[in-house]
Structure 1
Amino acid sequence: MIKRILYTVLALGLALYAGSASAQQLSLAQISQYLNQLQTAQGGFTQINQDGTLSTGQIYIKRPGRIRFEYNAPDDTLVIGGGGSLAIFDPRSNAGPDRYPLNQTPLGIILRENVNLDQADMVTGVASDGTTTTVTAQDPDHPEYGNIQLVFTANPVELRQWIVTDDLGTPTTVILNDLTKGGRVRDVLFNIQAETRNRSN
């Protein structure tokens, strides 16, 4: 029941975001161009976890290859993508971050230097409901890494949310709130080693 309510709220939120967007399906070329032009961005996010709970925080993006999720209390988790790795800092742990190769996660698809959704076997599904276009993408060489569903509105093209399904089949939904493109985003935000040193002091 909780999940049903959350997804109803999500659908209503997307409808409000869409505003006067025309009933058109975006092409893969349009979406690829949008992602490749998205050099820096920052804003808020709301995450719907597998158990239906919500987490909120701030997101920072600096393409290629860098992303940062700062979760608000009581979570206080920090996730940093940079230097080819994705690191998860758990504030309750003193053992340092858990690290994974970024290119072995679905997020690596949209953080590539050159996103080409027309690449063979990268896109496994495209759907439009009249206000949004949803694209499901995977690493064509390693579909076992999972996939990412990207939801866009049109006029202008904007990324509104994504659903990452990991290699275990676990989905995580991230809704972007007031994502501001462009502007200066400091490199130190994506420095995993510096963050690890700061937390060990």
Structure 2
Amino acid sequence: MKHLRLLLVPVLATFLALPAAAEKLSLNTLSNYFNSFETAQSRFTQINADGSKSAGTLYMRRPGRARFEYDPPNEALVIAGGGQVAIFDQKSNAGPEQYPLSRTPLSIILAKRVNLAQARMVTGHGTRGTDTVVRARDPQKPEYGSIDLIFAANPTRLIEWIINDPSGSKTRVILSNFKTGGNMPASLFDITLAANRR
């Protein structure tokens, strides 16, 4: 019996050293997190389905405004402002492609008052390891695919999202050095101004 106890000691020590199972953050906690700030800025790394990578800076100004500014030599730019999302393609001389913000999952986190528990686009709420995952999609446009918003705890923060294409491909956007607060000029989110400058 003594030998059995001696054998179990390292096993129990290893088990006790393992992190506790992840407890997912509630939708109310995540909503309060977004509602706690108006502006935020973060570096991001985008990993495309083909394995190619690009990086840039994300600017957010709630309600309704965001800017994804890619680092050179990539000249792509995505702006949410004035109720629209505009995608500027570096390979096109035409104007930006535009979509109503309300038809994109960005509208959920850029709302004046975020309430994930009542957002009709939220279709899933679970965990990935120690992180919490919220899945969103437009129920009227399932062909647009879905987005997984991934949050870490202690403190609560948005760390990544994954865009799931209907074809099965995924694009990851990993956030780093996410900082809230600070002044951001309205010109950062002006689609017309950005179009005139390109």
Q: Is the 8 A contact 1:22 1:155 kept in 2?
A: no
Aligned residues: 180
Task: Give the corresponding residue for 1:195.
Answer: 194
TM-score (norm 2): 0.80
Cα distance between partner residues in 2 of 1:112 and 1:120:
10
User: Which residue type is aligned with residue 40 of structure 1?
Assistant: T
Q: 1:61 to 1:22 in 2, by over 3 A?
A: farther
1:175 aligns with 2:185: no
Equivalent pair of 1:24/1:130 in contact (CA under 8 Å): no
Contact 1:151 1:159 in 2 (8 A): yes
Q: Which secondary structure does the structure 2 equivalent of 1:60 belong to?
A: strand
Q: Which residue of 1 aligns with 2:93?
A: 94
Deviation, structure 1 residue 142: 5.0
Corresponding residue SS for 2:51? coil
Q: Distance in 2 between matches of 1:170 and 1:107?
A: 19
Name the stretch that deviates more: 114-123 or 24-33: 114-123
1:1-201 to 2 correspondences below 5 Å: 23-119=22-118, 122-140=121-139, 142-165=141-164, 170-199=169-198
Distance 1:179 1:72, change over 3 A: same
Query: Structure 1 vs Structure 2: percent identity of aligned residues?
Result: 53
Letter matched to residue 44 of structure 2: F
TM-score when normalising by structure 1: 0.79
CA distance in structure 1 between the partners assigned to 2:55 and 2:178 by the alignment: 14
Structure 2 CA distance for partners of 1:130 and 1:168, relative to 1, 3 Å: closer
Deviation larger for 63-72 or 145-154:
145-154
Provide structure 1 residue ranges, at least 5 long, that are not aligned to the other structure. Answer: 1-19
- Separation in 2 of the partners of 1:160 and 1:105? 19
1:150-188 per-position Cα deviation (integer Å, ceiling 9, x unaligned): 111111101000112356665321100101111111110
Aligned CA RMSD, in angstroms, stands at: 2.4
* Larger gyration radius, structure 1 or structure 2: 2
Q: CA deviation at 1:23?
A: 3.9
Whole-Å Cα distance in 1 between the matches of residues 169 and 106 of structure 2? 14
Question: How many Å separate the matches in 2 of 1:38 and 1:187?
Answer: 17
- List runs of 5+ in structure 2 lacking aligned partners: 1-18
1:187, 1:158 → 2: CA distance?
25
- SS of the counterpart of 2:194? helix
Contact 1:68 1:80 in 2 (8 A): yes
Q: 1:122–1:103: structure 2 CA closer, same or farther, 3 Å change rule?
A: closer
Stretch of structure 1 that moved more, 152-161 or 84-93: 84-93
Measured after TM superposition, the shift of residue 101 of structure 1 is 1.4
